[in-house]
Structure 1
Amino acid sequence: MSSSRIDLSLPQLEAFVQVAASGSFRAAAAQIGISQPALSRAIGTAERTLGARLFDRDTRHVEITAVGRELLPVAQRILRDFDSALGELGEFMQGRSGRVTVAALPSVGAALVPAAMVALRRTHPAVEFTLIEAPAEELLVSVEEGRADLGLSVRPAAQQRLRYEHLLDDPMVLLCRADDPLAARGSVPWSVFAQRPFLASAPASSIRPITDAVLVQKRMMLRPALEYPSVTACGALVAAGLGITALPRLTLGLMSMKGLATVPLVRPQASRAIGIVTRIGRTLPPVARAFMAILRSAEARPTMSPAARRLAIRAARAPSIRT
């Protein structure tokens, strides 16, 4: 079965377009930056491939033929498309375009990712984003399997083929009702949970290992009054007066704080370590590396109110634990 495909190279098309534009082999060769004999050979090869002349020429004149006039708009379009494609590749290679897929814990995604996206788009307006929200275990698997370029999560287990780069410590705070006597205190020790109904996060949550570690350290054998399935549900349970709990500060952005209050937890002061997780051995696209640079900078860090900063400084004087 015969094919109608015509195999002309890009250099041949460029030589043809330049000769057609200038009406001179000499001028076209100078424009392209090759010798005139080399340009003539390129045109001759193209004509043999086509089986037709592209130019009628003598020692003084060069005139495009009917076949050449038919080829000219096609060749111009091919060269434009090629230049455009190379330009897009250059934008991608320099990190100015492309897609970043980020997997994040819901609280961390809400606190860090929007500001980082805005900051990157100031200099990289063509960048596109995909945001995956998932609990820690599922999130880390998505990075390990390559479905996400990077994750914003707690430290992965040692056996996972993942690299962890620490970003920040998310301090644990007590969450109670605003009319609870605890809300008026400057700080509260973890031992308070032995005296009040304690609401625990689900076992698969990134919060549960932190609270369990502190309770073990304090030798407190607590039976939770309830296990909540989400941070949003936790806020509603506390607001209803069903108990108190310990949460990382960043999770507070996921709930309505109406009727609720937070107090720094001390003795010990605990925090949730949050960092950038990437797969070992994977080369990230330039735009993903640019996004990581934004995350490392102050532009993506959550801000703290003056009152919260004073409470954090006061709590920092106590012994701490980081998990």
Structure 2
Amino acid sequence: MHSSRIQLSLQQLEAFVQVAALGSFRAAAAQIGVSQPALSRTIRQAEQTLGARLFDRDTRHVTISPVGGELLPIAQRILREFDSAFSELGQFMQGSRGRVTVAALPSLGSALVPNAIAAFKKHCPQAEFTLMEAPAEVLLAAVEDGRADFGLSVRPAPDLRLQYQHLLDDSMVLLCRADDPLAGRSSVPWSVFAQRPFIASQPNSSIRPLTDAVFLQKGLSIRPAFESPSVSACGGLIGAGLGLAALPQLALDLVNMHRLVAVPLVRPHASRPIGVVTRIGRTLPPVGRAFITRVLALHDPRVYAIPRA
């Protein structure tokens, strides 16, 4: 056997392993689905490459040679690894394995994404996820520059290289203390914020543009009593009696609702549009496409129950 690298093809290794397993050229040819002369030619080419016989054969018996006995476990391992590798590639191409990076608003990272990932992994347990949470502006930038495969966020501005697929409308509610007179109301108009201290979200959040737009539409000049750094901090400020806030329903998962109540906001009814955001022209990994398809197809567009005291 030459000391240089041995060049045996997968076809030759498979033919060799089948003859060794079945002890017959005829049976091995039938198993592989080739003619016996073709199989014999394949084995002969392998022997020429090795410079040694793989089988000792006569008219009635086929016996593996010492070189064949040495080659057999190596060939079996190579074929197993080849099958395993291409099985993994097939699973990747089908979207049942691979890694996907999802960027989500903090409220969605708490209320929607974990359940979506859990449901997906029941069918595709080998899929792996990296979850990023960020305000809308940072999140959309992560999708645009490729740090995230896709985002779950509000509708992006039209000047960005992003595509938006609508998922749900996240209705706005008023958040107040349970002992507030407003807590017992079935709904509250937006004009209430003209009479009570208003706790606003940060300007770079997905909530602030929506509340600002409603106030502009209603002709309300509202000066925030506080600009809360986060949704959870907003709940703390309200609990301390420092004002009221307008929040999307899904954001309530980030709030300690003990002693707080959410009431629907009306006149007008307003909601935060939530959808899947991808970068135009980017090829997503198959697992990412499969996850998006399942989220869009299986999402329950129900109206989320509003926590009450």
Query: TM-score, structure 1 length as denominator?
Result: 0.88
CA distance in structure 2 between the aligned counterparts of 1:244 and 1:302, rounded to whole angstroms? 26
- How far residue 288 of structure 1 moved from its aligned partner, in angstroms, is 2.2
- How far residue 3 of structure 1 moved from its aligned partner, in angstroms, is 7.3
RMSD value, Cα: 2.1
Contact kept? 1:112, 1:302, Cα under 8 Å: no
Contact kept? 1:115, 1:299, Cα under 8 Å: no
The answer for the alignment partner of 2:142 in structure 1 is: 142
Contact kept? 2:238, 2:244, Cα under 8 Å: yes
**More deviation, 114-123/222-231:** 114-123
Determine if the alignment matches structure 1 residue 86 to structure 2 residue 86: yes
Contact kept? 2:169, 2:274, Cα under 8 Å: yes
CA distance in structure 1 between the aligned counterparts of 2:207 and 2:110, rounded to whole angstroms? 16
The answer for the alignment partner of 2:199 in structure 1 is: 199
Residues 256-267 of structure 1: pairs in structure 2 closer than 5 A: 256-267=256-267
The answer for the alignment partner of 2:103 in structure 1 is: 103
- How far residue 148 of structure 1 moved from its aligned partner, in angstroms, is 2.2
Contact kept? 1:112, 1:295, Cα under 8 Å: no
**More deviation, 67-76/289-298:** 289-298
- How far residue 225 of structure 1 moved from its aligned partner, in angstroms, is 1.2
Deviations 1:199-245 (A, max 9, x none): 11111100110011111112222221111110011100111111111
The answer for the alignment partner of 1:153 in structure 2 is: 153
Contact kept? 1:178, 1:261, Cα under 8 Å: yes
Structure 2's unaligned 5+ residue stretches are none
Contact kept? 1:188, 1:266, Cα under 8 Å: yes
Deviations 1:156-186 (A, max 9, x none): 1112221101111111111111111121222
Contact kept? 1:295, 1:301, Cα under 8 Å: no
* Pair 1:204–1:33, CA change in 2 (3 A): same
CA distance in structure 2 between the aligned counterparts of 1:147 and 1:87, rounded to whole angstroms? 28
CA distance in structure 2 between the aligned counterparts of 1:216 and 1:303, rounded to whole angstroms? 26
CA distance in structure 2 between the aligned counterparts of 1:76 and 1:193, rounded to whole angstroms? 74
CA distance in structure 2 between the aligned counterparts of 1:4 and 1:251, rounded to whole angstroms? 65
**More deviation, 296-305/34-43:** 296-305
The answer for the alignment partner of 1:43 in structure 2 is: 43
Residues 27-66 of structure 1: pairs in structure 2 closer than 5 A: 27-66=27-66
Aligned-partner SS, 2:88: helix
Contact kept? 2:249, 2:304, Cα under 8 Å: no
Query: TM-score, structure 2 length as denominator?
Result: 0.92
Identity %: 70
- How far residue 114 of structure 1 moved from its aligned partner, in angstroms, is 2.0
The answer for the alignment partner of 2:188 in structure 1 is: 188
Residues 1-323 of structure 1: pairs in structure 2 closer than 5 A: 4-298=4-298, 304-305=304-305, 308=306
Aligned-partner SS, 2:214: helix
Give the residue type in structure 2 aligned to 1:26. Answer: R
Runs (4+) off by over 6 Å: none
* Pair 1:298–1:32, CA change in 2 (3 A): closer
Deviations 1:248-283 (A, max 9, x none): 111111010112112211121111000011122233
- How far residue 298 of structure 1 moved from its aligned partner, in angstroms, is 4.7
CA distance in structure 2 between the aligned counterparts of 1:302 and 1:112, rounded to whole angstroms? 13
Aligned-partner SS, 1:101: strand
Deviations 1:41-77 (A, max 9, x none): 2222222222222122333332211111000000011
Aligned-partner SS, 2:223: coil
- How far residue 98 of structure 1 moved from its aligned partner, in angstroms, is 2.4
Give the residue type in structure 2 aligned to 1:242. Answer: L
CA distance in structure 2 between the aligned counterparts of 1:300 and 1:117, rounded to whole angstroms? 15
Aligned-partner SS, 1:47: helix
CA distance in structure 1 between the aligned counterparts of 2:160 and 2:60, rounded to whole angstroms? 73
Give the residue type in structure 2 aligned to 1:144. Answer: E
* Pair 1:183–1:136, CA change in 2 (3 A): same
**More deviation, 196-205/29-38:** 29-38
CA distance in structure 2 between the aligned counterparts of 1:214 and 1:3, rounded to whole angstroms? 79
- How far residue 299 of structure 1 moved from its aligned partner, in angstroms, is 5.0
Aligned-partner SS, 1:269: coil
Give the residue type in structure 1 aligned to 2:162. Answer: L
